[in-house]
């Protein structure tokens, strides 16, 4: 066991865990965050995705010991039901989910994409989503929500 200091959603936490513990377990169980989800533990579905340094990172295969102290952002770090982030609002407006279990991975992957590629083409969205999985088949709406956010975001940048 070792003590690690994690910056998550603007707050600093100390946890005493085995360095080999995947970040997902610390976020879910030590910090009680509900955004990142265990889907496969194999980096095959994206449900556990968080953002670190602008990248979509799969927390189920990222050990706590490998982190460099950078700020970690989870789904609840973007916004709240009362004040959703514009990307979350786009998913609400488009009703872009069914069970909603995968939506953490979809939104956090899309956030990282649009942060580095402000107005992505459909091909770029597809590439970013190549290994993100939704089993309910809300794909059409999720794409629409991402496009809606990206376009508004790009318009805002040029305005």
Give the residues lining the site for another protein (CB under 8 A). Answer: 1, 17-18, 21-22, 25, 28-29, 32-35, 37-42, 44-45, 47, 74-76, 78-81, 84-85, 88, 91-92, 95, 97-104, 106-107, 126-143
Q: Which is nearer to another protein, 84 or 118 (CB)?
A: 84
Residue 30, classified by CB atoms within 10 Å of its CB into exposed (0-12), middle (13-18) or buried (19+), is middle
Cβ proximity to another protein: between 55 and 139 the closer is 139
CA angle, 60 then 113 then 117, to 5°: 160
Shortest distance in whole angstroms from residue 40 CB to another protein: 4
Closest CB to another protein among residues 115, 122:
122
Q: Which is nearer to another protein, 47 or 112 (CB)?
A: 47
Contact 107/78 with Cβ under 8 angstroms?
A: yes
Output the smallest distance, CB 147 to another protein, in A. Answer: 13
Q: Minimum Å distance from CB 87 to another protein?
A: 9
Task: Give min distance, CB of 158 to another protein, in A.
Answer: 26
Instruction: Output the six-digit token pair for 31.
Output: 């910090």
Cβ 148 vs Cβ 90: under 8 Å:
yes
Q: 149: which residues sit within 8 A by CB, 6+ positions away?
A: 86, 87, 89, 90, 110, 114
């Amino acid at each position: 066991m070792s003590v690690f200091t994690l910056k998550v959603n603007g707050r600093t936490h100390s946890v005493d865990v085995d360095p080999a513990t995947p970040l997902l377990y610390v976020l879910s169980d030590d910090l009680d965050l509900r955004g990142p989800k265990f889907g496969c533990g194999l980096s095959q579905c994206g449900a556990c995705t968080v953002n670190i340094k602008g990248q979509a990172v799969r927390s189920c295969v990222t050990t706590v010991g490998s982190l460099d102290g950078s700020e970690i952002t989870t789904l609840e770090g973007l916004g709240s039901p009362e004040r959703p982030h514009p990307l979350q609002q786009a998913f609400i407006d488009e009703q872009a989910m069914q069970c909603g279990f995968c939506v953490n991975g979809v939104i956090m992957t899309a956030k990282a994409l649009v942060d580095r590629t402000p107005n992505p083409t459909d091909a770029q969205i597809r590439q970013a989503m190549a290994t993100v999985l939704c089993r309910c088949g809300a794909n059409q709406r999720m794409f629409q929500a991402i496009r809606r956010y990206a376009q508004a975001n790009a318009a805002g940048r040029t305005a």
